[in-house]
Chains A and B, each alone.
Chain A
Amino acid sequence: MPQGDYIELHRKRHGYRLDHFERKRKKEARVVHERSAFAKRVLGIKGKMFAKKRYAEKALMKKTIAMHEESSSRRKVDDKVHDGAIPAYLLDRDTTTRAKVLSNTIKQKRKEKAGKWDVPLPKVRPVAEVEMFRVIRSGKRKFEMVSSTAKQWKRMVTKVTFVGPGFTRKPPKYERFIRPTGLRFTKAHVTHPELKCTFNLEIIGIKKNPNGPMYTSLGVVTKGTIIEVNVSELGLVTPAGKVVWGKYAQVTNNPENDGCINAVLLV
């Protein structure tokens, strides 16, 4: 690159070469071929970057050509004959197609059957059994270091549990899993994802605990558990006109650490 203006000075004083403009024109015409040769030859990351840039240019060029091709002359509106003919009195009304509603309910039923949920927290950290349960020693000499009469078959659940309203403990001699009353909760703080407001709703039951069916049947509530809550106070109504009173929600916190169950409603 010239570091002064000597080229301009020479041009001013003596003018251009006789074939200057022709050579310039022809050189510019050859740029296309040179670019193409470069694109074919270049390798590695350099090649990839160049190819990306070249593609972007191509797309832009196509768009501008299409834009220019739109003629300003008005063409006759050529309506294609659509499916789903409706009479004149229904034309301006948008009626939700029954088929769509039907297929949606069927799909939802299928999903429920399969047990697959479209949940906000699809993956949760698995909780090990040793973390979930604490071994309780029972028997005559349970506190000896080494004792032949000590039994260790009882377990106490260290996580938050939900037991239904009609829950009665098994006779203490026979109960294997102890669910302490201090860790039993009946209500959950449920957030509606769209309305972004939180309600304190009663839990109806535990639907699924991701750690296993045993925990589901025990009623253990950990992060990621699907619970069913009573939403009658929200006043939701199905399209058929029935009032919705139970909905599923997924637990989003670790209740044993916080002392409360926070969940997000699955709409």
Chain B
Amino acid sequence: MEVMDVEREVSNNNSVMCLLTDPEGEPLGAPLYLPQNVGPPQLQEIVNKLLNNVEKMPYAFYISDQELVVQLSSYLQKNKVSVEKVLRIVYQPQALFRIRPVNRCSATIAGHTEAVLSVSFSPDGRHLASGSGDTTVRLWDLGTQTPMFTCSGHKNWVLCISWSPDGQHLVSGSKAGEILSWDPQTGKQSGSPFLGHKKWITGISWEPVHLQAPCRRFVSSSKDGDARVWDISLRKCVICLSGHTLAVTCVKWGGDGMIYTGSQDCTIKVWETTQGKLIRELKGHGHWVNSLALSTEYVLRTGAFDHTRKAYSSPAEMKEAALARYNKMKGNASERLVSGSDDFTMFLWEPASSKHPKARLTGHQQLVNHVYFSPDGQWLASASFDKSVKLWNGITGKFIASFRGHVGPVYQISWSADSRLLLSGSKDSTLKVWDIRTHKLKQDLPGHADEVFSVDWSPDGEKVASGGKDRVLKLWMN
């Protein structure tokens, strides 16, 4: 603090009283007198010192939800903030690595004979799988950007695919209500199909690897109104979660071991996983619940893998690493859940604490199709049929910015691993990359001939895969 006093006398500008707070609102130390020529790099040093970080971590600073990119003096002048009150500066840790935005289509791989309905990268970013209307699941080689395996066996369109967080299994659900599991190394079906659902599968979600490694259980939701928990080693349905009266549109397995299901009957049900009992019912929406998102979703999806690309030898090691990552991501707050609905609004819930929503996020003019938390949980993005993507604060639910540019309904969104870039795919056949810092369009990726149904950003941030009605899979790179 003595350093600060010296600086104050040296500079002939006025100084301002600042209080650094973390994203949850807890202050870091006492309020400080800072000279007005202080900018983000100096603030970063202060925060690192106050937190006693061994290695210098990058931080971003926000004053009343607006990012501080210039010196304090210019900010104060522009916004005419009074110097007499204490200025609250919120610091947010940023990812150490920086993902470069993709700007070119490196490969257009044909192979599917019908529209591509879903694409997904494996958690370690090494494999890519896509499911299509021609009833096949195809695995693609990312090194040579060519088709690798064609997995046939489904009887109708393949609607959803999902990788297990340890990267060992790939399961896919079809319109006929069957679920098949595949071995990603050989491309062959591993075992018999999982039969039980009577109508088509709307979503699949795996149990997090920090709860059980190697990954065994996954839950699937279907139009027939129930969600089933399957065990891949026993190869049968262990629990059937029935209770919804209409189709279950999405299902997510939370990091604390609860399963969240959103349905067309406008409710979200929270289930516990040992016996399949209903814990809570979250009511509030006026129309179908289209999509659910968890604040820890990205970490749960990638499991133990992160940008360091470390390979794990044993499942126990993987479980530990995944648990460490999960705890770091979660902090001391409980998991947040956001649901997007046909009634043009979204609700922010904290299902572990109460059954009433924490915030209602309005603003969209058409139904909300897809909601997704950023990998660091700070932001929340929503894609809607009103051709816009909206950015919200992931903790409070406050609206931050709206990204307009698409000329058709926006179908799916995907975040880059460092939470700095957001990708959206739309019915107008373009993909757009949006910059979170500047709230503007970073890159426009045209090239698809028809609607883009599914997009995915690889967890290592190198590639983006997109598939749609024109039956080709496009890989985009920097």
* A residues neighboring B (CB under 8 Å): 79, 81, 83-89, 91-92
Chain B residue contacts of A83, Cβ below 8 A: 114, 133
Chain B residue contacts of A85, Cβ below 8 A: 114-115, 117, 132-134, 157
Closest to A81 in B: B156
- Contacts A81-B157, A86-B453, A87-B453 known; 16 new A-B pairs at CB < 8 A: A79-B156, A79-B176, A81-B133, A85-B117, A85-B157, A86-B115, A86-B117, A87-B411, A89-B249, A89-B291, A89-B411, A91-B159, A91-B175, A91-B223, A92-B247, A92-B264
Say yes or no: A87 contacts B117, CB within 8 Å: yes
Query: Which residues B273-296 have CB closer than 8 A to chain A?
Result: 290-291
Say yes or no: B155 contacts A79, CB within 8 Å: yes
Known contacts A79-B176, A81-B156, A88 near B201 by CB under 8 Å: yes
Number of cross-chain contacts by CB at 8 Å: 53
Closest to B468 in A: A87
A-B interface, 10 closest residue pairs, ranked by CB to CB distance from nearest: A85-B133, A88-B159, A85-B115, A87-B117, A85-B157, A88-B202, A87-B453, A85-B114, A81-B156, A79-B156
Say yes or no: B203 contacts A88, CB within 8 Å: yes
Instruction: Say if the beta carbon of B162 comes within 8 Å of chain A.
Output: no
Docked complex Cα distance between A86 and B132 (Å): 9
Chain B residue contacts of A84, Cβ below 8 A: 115, 133
Closest to B291 in A: A89
Instruction: Say if the beta carbon of B349 comes within 8 Å of chain A.
Output: no
Chain B residue contacts of A81, Cβ below 8 A: 133-135, 155-157
Known contacts A81-B135, A92-B264, A87 near B156 by CB under 8 Å: no
Chain A residue contacts of B203, Cβ below 8 A: 88
Chain B residue contacts of A86, Cβ below 8 A: 115, 117, 133, 453
Contact sample, A vs B, 14 pairs, CB 8 Å cutoff? A85-B133, A85-B134, A86-B115, A86-B453, A87-B159, A87-B411, A87-B453, A88-B160, A89-B290, A89-B291, A89-B369, A89-B411, A91-B175, A91-B202
Chain B residue contacts of A91, Cβ below 8 A: 159, 175, 200, 202, 223
Instruction: Say if the beta carbon of B454 comes within 8 Å of chain A.
Output: yes
Docked complex Cα distance between A170 and B291 (Å): 71
Instruction: Say if the beta carbon of B122 comes within 8 Å of chain A.
Output: no
B-side interface size class = 20 to 34
Chain A residue contacts of B134, Cβ below 8 A: 81, 85
Closest to B173 in A: A88
Instruction: Say if the beta carbon of B118 comes within 8 Å of chain A.
Output: yes
- Say how far A99's CB is from chain B's closest CB, in angstroms: 11
Closest to B198 in A: A77
Chain A residue contacts of B411, Cβ below 8 A: 87, 89
- Say how far B455's CB is from chain A's closest CB, in angstroms: 12
Per-position contact with A for B127-167: 1 when CB-CB < 8 Å, else 0? 00000111100000000000000000001110110000000
Docked complex Cα distance between A79 and B135 (Å): 13
- Say how far A256's CB is from chain B's closest CB, in angstroms: 52
Chain A residue contacts of B132, Cβ below 8 A: 85
- Say how far A61's CB is from chain B's closest CB, in angstroms: 37
Closest to B288 in A: A92
Per-position contact with A for B167-191: 1 when CB-CB < 8 Å, else 0? 0000000011000000000000000
Query: Which residues B209-246 have CB closer than 8 A to chain A?
Result: 223
- Say how far A34's CB is from chain B's closest CB, in angstroms: 54
Chain A residue contacts of B453, Cβ below 8 A: 86-87
Say yes or no: B176 contacts A87, CB within 8 Å: no
Chain B residue contacts of A88, Cβ below 8 A: 117, 159-160, 200-203, 249
Per-position contact with A for B111-124: 1 when CB-CB < 8 Å, else 0? 00011011000000
Central interface residue in A85, A86, A91, by most chain B CB within 10 Å: A85
- Say how far B390's CB is from chain A's closest CB, in angstroms: 18
Docked complex Cα distance between A91 and B288 (Å): 13
Closest to B264 in A: A92
- Say how far B247's CB is from chain A's closest CB, in angstroms: 7
- Say how far A89's CB is from chain B's closest CB, in angstroms: 6
Docked complex Cα distance between A250 and B100 (Å): 63
Docked complex Cα distance between A204 and B115 (Å): 48
Chain A residue contacts of B114, Cβ below 8 A: 83, 85
Docked complex Cα distance between A87 and B249 (Å): 12
- Say how far A80's CB is from chain B's closest CB, in angstroms: 9
Docked complex Cα distance between A81 and B176 (Å): 10
Docked complex Cα distance between A91 and B156 (Å): 13
Docked complex Cα distance between A87 and B120 (Å): 14
- Say how far B86's CB is from chain A's closest CB, in angstroms: 46
Central interface residue in A88, A91, A92, by most chain B CB within 10 Å: A88
Docked complex Cα distance between A191 and B475 (Å): 57
Closest to B135 in A: A81
- Say how far B44's CB is from chain A's closest CB, in angstroms: 41
Chain A residue contacts of B155, Cβ below 8 A: 79, 81
Chain A residue contacts of B176, Cβ below 8 A: 79
Docked complex Cα distance between A87 and B453 (Å): 7
- Say how far A198's CB is from chain B's closest CB, in angstroms: 37
Closest to B369 in A: A89
Docked complex Cα distance between A134 and B134 (Å): 74
Say yes or no: A87 contacts B200, CB within 8 Å: no
Chain A residue contacts of B370, Cβ below 8 A: 89
Say yes or no: B454 contacts A87, CB within 8 Å: yes
Chain A residue contacts of B369, Cβ below 8 A: 89
- Say how far B138's CB is from chain A's closest CB, in angstroms: 14
- Say how far B133's CB is from chain A's closest CB, in angstroms: 2
Docked complex Cα distance between A215 and B377 (Å): 74
Docked complex Cα distance between A86 and B133 (Å): 7
Docked complex Cα distance between A176 and B135 (Å): 75
